[in-house]
Copies of this chain bind each other. A is one copy, B any other.
Amino acid sequence: MSRAYDRRVAEAGSPRLIAVLGVGVIDDPDRAVLCADDLGLTRGDGCFDATRLVTDTEGNSRVDHLNAHMARFQRSAAGLEVPCDLDAWHELIAEAVAAWTQPGHAVLRVILTRGRESAPAQPVTGVLTITPLDEAALNGLEGISVITLSRGHAADAFTDVPWLLGGIKSLSYATNVSAGREAKRRGADDALFVSTDGYALEAPRSALVWRIGDHLASTRLDGSGVLASITQVAAFNGATAEGVPTSYDLITVPELVRTDGAWLLSSGRLVAPILQLDGTTLAHDGAWTDRLLNWVIQPDM
C-alpha cells in the first residue's frame, strides 16, 4: 500500500499525504475531509504541531523530537479544553510515516479541532499532513535578514490571563502569517515580534536564541505569550551536555544587536542565523551555527 501511494504521488508531481484521526491514511490527498461547520475552520478553534520528517533513499523515516512535539500538542489541546487522545495520534502517525517513502525532508503536521458545530456527538476532528519541506526552509542555514514588528502587547501581558491562550500553538495563526507577509513586503526573510515595552519576543514561526560570549539565551516564557520551542529546547539540552551555559531572559532590540550572534530556531528551518536586523549587521560566528545545528538534529536523549 505504501508503495502504491508513493507511485501515485510521484505521478502527480506533488507528493503529499493526509490522514484522518479515526480513519487512517486517505488514498487521495486532494480529497475533502473537513465539513463546512468545523470549528477549526469557522473559529480557528483548535491546535496544531509540526516537526521535521527525514526519509532515506530506502524509504525509512525518522521523526525529529516526536515525543516532545506531541507533549506540546497535548498541552495546547489542554489549554483549549479539547480532548487529545495521544495513543490514537501515535497510531495514526505510525501508519502515516510507514506509508510515506519519498526520500528527503518533509513537514509532519498534526491538527486537532473542537469538531463540528452541528455534530457535538463527534467531539473532535484530527487531521495529519506530510508535505515536502520548501526550499526557503532548507536554505535558512545560510543566514537571514529580519525586521522587527510590534506584537501590540507588553512582555508580561500573558500573566494570569489563560483565555488569551499565550504559549498555545492554536490554529488562530493569521497574525503570524500576516507578519511574515509584511517582512517579505519589506524585502526581509522573516519578522521578529517585539513587545510594546521594547523586548524581542519570537518570530512568527520560530524561537529567538542569542549568544553573549559562551553563553546562550532565549526568550523567557513566563507571561510573554511566547511559544515553548521544541527546537530551542533541543539545542539547549545539547549545549548543557557540552557545558555551555544557557538561560531564559528578556532582551531589548538594541541589546540584541550588540550580542555575539542571534538565531531563529524552528523545526522546519532548524537554525537560521540573523545576519541583518532592521538593516543593521549582526555578529555571526559560523562555528556556533554548526554547534546549534548539531545539537538540534541529534536524536532525543
Contact = CB atoms under 8 A, between A and B. Distances in A.
Interface of A: 14, 16, 18, 20, 26, 29-46, 48, 80-81, 109, 111, 113, 117-119, 127-129, 131, 149-154, 157-158, 161-165, 170-179, 181-182, 191, 196, 225
A175 to B, nearest CB: 5
A174 B172 contact: yes
A7 to B, nearest CB: 18
A36 B42 contact: no
Contacts of A36: 18, 20, 26, 29, 33-34, 111, 127-129
A144 B129 CA distance: 43
B43 A176 contact: yes
Given A43-B176, A44-B173, 18 more contacts: A18-B37, A20-B36, A29-B36, A31-B35, A34-B36, A36-B127, A43-B173, A43-B174, A44-B170, A152-B153, A152-B158, A152-B161, A153-B157, A154-B196, A164-B178, A170-B172, A171-B172, A172-B174
6 contacts: A26-B36, A30-B119, A36-B128, A41-B171, A42-B109, A172-B173
Nearest to A166: B152
A77 B44 CA distance: 16
Nearest to A35: B32
A83 to B, nearest CB: 14
A179 B161 CA distance: 10
Contacts of A30: 35, 118-119
Contacts of A153: 152-153, 157, 196
Contacts of A181: 81, 163
Given A34-B34, A118-B29, A111 B48 contact: no
Contacts of A80: 174, 178
A284 to B, nearest CB: 27
Contacts of A32: 31-35
Contacts of A191: 163
Nearest to A125: B41
A173 B42 CA distance: 8
B37 A48 contact: no
Contacts of A165: 174-175, 178
Contact of A175 (B113, B172, B173): B172
A41 B14 CA distance: 20
Given A157-B152, A165-B174, A174-B165, A41 B38 contact: yes
